[in-house]
Amino acid sequence: MIDNKKVLFSGMQATGNLTLGNYLGALKNWVTLSDEYECFYSVVDMHSITIRQDPAALRRRARSLLILYIAAGLDPEKNCIYYQSHVSGHAELAWILNCFTYMGELNRMTQFKDKAAKHADNINAGLFTYPVLMAADILLYQADVVPVGIDQMQHLELTRDIAQRFNGIYGDVFTIPEAYIGKVGAKIMSLQDPAKKMSKSDENPNGSIYLMDDADTIRRKCKRAVTDSLGEFRYSDEQPGLHNLIDIYCACTGLTPDAVVKEFSGSGYGQFKEAVGEAVVSVLDPLQKRVAELEKDKAYIDRVIKSNAEKATYYSQKTLRKVQKKVGFPSFS
């Protein structure tokens, strides 16, 4: 608790082009929850280097991501928006937690297996222990709630296991965090292959809508989205392409799947795809304009970066000192 408010932590990687999945599955919910909680939103640049990065591009993307958080509606006066690499406590706590995490647990992580297969020439130890750094991110702020998409659930379960294990040995040190999964949009799938999640690293650019895609590109990608040959307008797992488009439409408009099925039953898929394209444009267009405006205000962004890194450092140190004492590190005095 901070000032009688529960704590929320979440983060995103500044790797690749962010997709509509990142926005609908995570960022959009962050904005909805931001009044209720004391929030920490990190640009997790330390996670990004588990895969080889061009340094200049990483710096540029990390800054764009931080700006995107603000553009999406997170007020940096109220929410702590900062770079993970500016707060050394993340790495320090991660080391300690590494000593409370088993190889077998990390071996089971599906994202590690996926990424190791994709980057077979660079299966580094950081990639393997990535979930421990993620646990440190969350536990460092004693977070009660962590809004994420479904793909991060396994990492969150591991975080809870590590925290419970540590508390079991040393007493109540960590708050046990809960995941927050949005009702719609928690798993947006590829427009070209609805069996795969929409991903920044998809080789087929038509499968993903990128947050910075222009309106015509968005409309074209929606129009080309894979559906089926049944020709029936239903919200069913047997029609995964249409199911995904309905999810996207609902997440963008706030309508329920039932309402959408009612509205479009009898219309062709083509007409619905056009409506989906327009709904996505109406969400992303204002976001892109706000990003462009904020990018011009360098002094303001720099101020936000500095003051929020100080705030995050302050709260992170409270937990870190407690943990260091518990495991037996000597204090300065």
Q: Which residues are catalytic?
A: 115, 197, 200
Q: How far is the CB of 68 from ligand TYM (least distance, A)?
A: 11
Residue 80 contacts residue 308 (beta carbons within 8 Å): yes
Give the residue from 104, 163, 106 showing the smallest Cα distance to 138: 163
Smaller CB distance to ligand TYM: residue 146 or 301? 146
Smaller CB distance to ligand TYM: residue 212 or 263? 212
C-beta nearest to ligand TYM: residue: 25
Smaller CB distance to ligand TYM: residue 47 or 160? 47
User: Which residues, numbered 157-196, are part of the site for ligand TYM (CB under 6 A)?
Assistant: 186-188
Q: How far is the CB of 331 from ligand TYM (least distance, A)?
A: 29
112 binds ligand TYM (CB under 6 A): no
Give the residue from 201, 206, 217, 189 showing the smallest Cα distance to 284: 217
Smaller CB distance to ligand TYM: residue 224 or 298? 224
Taking CB under 6 A as the binding criterion, the range among 6-14, 121-129, 163-171, 298-306 that sits at the site for ligand TYM is 6-14
22 binds ligand TYM (CB under 6 A): yes
Smaller CB distance to ligand TYM: residue 156 or 301? 156
User: Which residues, numbered 292-331, are part of the site for ligand TYM (CB under 6 A)?
Assistant: none
Chain-centre distance of CA 34, in angstroms?
A: 15
Residue 261 contacts residue 235 (beta carbons within 8 Å): yes
User: What residues pair up with 42 in beta bridges, in sequence order?
Assistant: 11, 82
Which one of residues 152, 227, 244, 308 is an interface residue with ligand TYM (CB under 6 A)?
A: 152
44 binds ligand TYM (CB under 6 A): yes
Report the distance separating Cα 104 and Cα 77, nearest Å. Answer: 42
Please state at what angle helix 298-327 crosses helix 89-98, rounded to 10 degrees: 30
Q: Which two tokens stand for residue 177?
A: 């965090």
Q: How far apart are the first and last CA of the chain?
A: 28
Give the residue from 99, 148, 80, 130 showing the smallest Cα distance to 305: 80
Report the distance separating Cα 201 and Cα 208, nearest Å. Answer: 9
User: Which residues, numbered 118-147, are part of the site for ligand TYM (CB under 6 A)?
Assistant: 134, 137-138, 146
Q: How far is the CB of 127 from ligand TYM (least distance, A)?
A: 12
Which one of residues 140, 148, 158, 275 is an interface residue with ligand TYM (CB under 6 A)?
A: 148
86 binds ligand TYM (CB under 6 A): no
Which one of residues 198, 222, 246, 323 is an interface residue with ligand TYM (CB under 6 A)?
A: 198
Residue 145 contacts residue 8 (beta carbons within 8 Å): yes
62 binds ligand TYM (CB under 6 A): no
Report the distance separating Cα 113 and Cα 110, nearest Å. Answer: 5
Half-sphere exposure of 210 (CA within 13 A, CB side): 16
Q: Binding residues for ligand TYM, per CB under 6 A?
A: 9-13, 21-22, 25-26, 44, 47, 134, 137-138, 146, 148-149, 151-152, 186-188, 197-198
